Structure 1
Amino acid sequence: MPDSSKRPPRLILASSSRYRRELLERLRVPFDVIVPAIDETPRAGETPEMTALRLAEVKARAVAAGLAGDERTLVIGSDQVATYDGHQIGKPGSHEKALTQLQGMRGREVLFHSAICLFDSRSADAQTVDVVTRVRFRDLPDAALDAYLRAETPYDCAGSAKAEGLGIALLDAIESDDPTALIGLPLIALTRMLLAACYPLLGAR
């Protein structure tokens, strides 16, 4: 019988986002996906950073709470909140709302708070961090914004723009310590957490 103590912990991504799933696949590690059932409404008085950090941890803990057995599992929760001039920006969900978002952000700097949590089901240890990306949008006319939205339909993205795709044409500058954070899952922060949790990335223990 194989020695279970030598197997790496099970890895679970607590997310419904296909973008986060595609990012995690870059690490070439096996993982499962479980969608957490939580209320993602911001709380009164919360800063964008507080909202993102809380929801990232709540997602991870919610999935961990539903696991059966005593197998050590590392659960990844993540949440992204965009903000400018004190306004929080969520996923638009429609063309009209996306256009309104882009109109409000043009010519402005927008902060994207990409929070991540790695929750250890055995120790109940939760590593959390908020990775901030500063994005400056170009001052483009309505016709250009409308054309972009019809070409890429980014209605499931906070901020209504896919920086990894055609949405880069809307941006004047991006400042971040982690280029994957803006897409939705900060991989530099995550790999740091996985190594701290003794997960064998690249064969390391």
Structure 2
Amino acid sequence: MKYAVMGGLLALLLGIAGCDQSPQHPDDLPWQISVTPEGRPQVFHLEIGKSTLREVIEHLHSFPEIAVFAHESGKRTLEAYFGSQRVGLFEAKIIAELQTDDATLNKFQTGAVKREGMASGQWKYPLSEADVKAADALPVHKLVYMPSVNYDPDIVTARFGQPAERLPSQKEGVELWFYPQKGLAILMNNDGGEILYYTDPQHYAALKQELLEAKPKNAN
């Protein structure tokens, strides 16, 4: 039963997407990835590593919650969380991680409206209104796509192709599929809840390391 809904939907789309003469050719599908001469993936009409947060907002017609996330290890990220969105034919949660420097992160963190503790061990610093506007022009170097339905591995292989590598995660029941030529990594979960990560060539190695080193939430 786990993959029945997704398998049925994607199987239907396989037929639709395979018919180039269809007047309603599906658009904005997660496997519709092209690569620029610079090696940057283009997906959902966005060029990862070049498109700005403003372009994502305009494409999704949605305003995100933007915050700096600071981990106890010292690592910090600037993320725009769009929540559940209708992207193409599917519902998915979208997170855009933005490229910036330490000075800007310091500014945003200092000017945050509050500080919130997270179960992951991170601190969340929501941006002030002024800093939200400043973040608009920052490029997206990682896009996280979390579909609302489960992905059948056979359908994923049919649409995305065979991954260059399939490696075990530190999380039980989770396997990591890597497509470096597409700037894509997929977290495949036996219990559902797959996650797709798109990033540019400059950050692909870091994404791979991050996913391989990620520990279960209840790990010390």
TM-score by length of 2: 0.28
Return the structure number with greater helix share. Answer: 1
Q: TM-score, normalised by structure 1?
A: 0.29
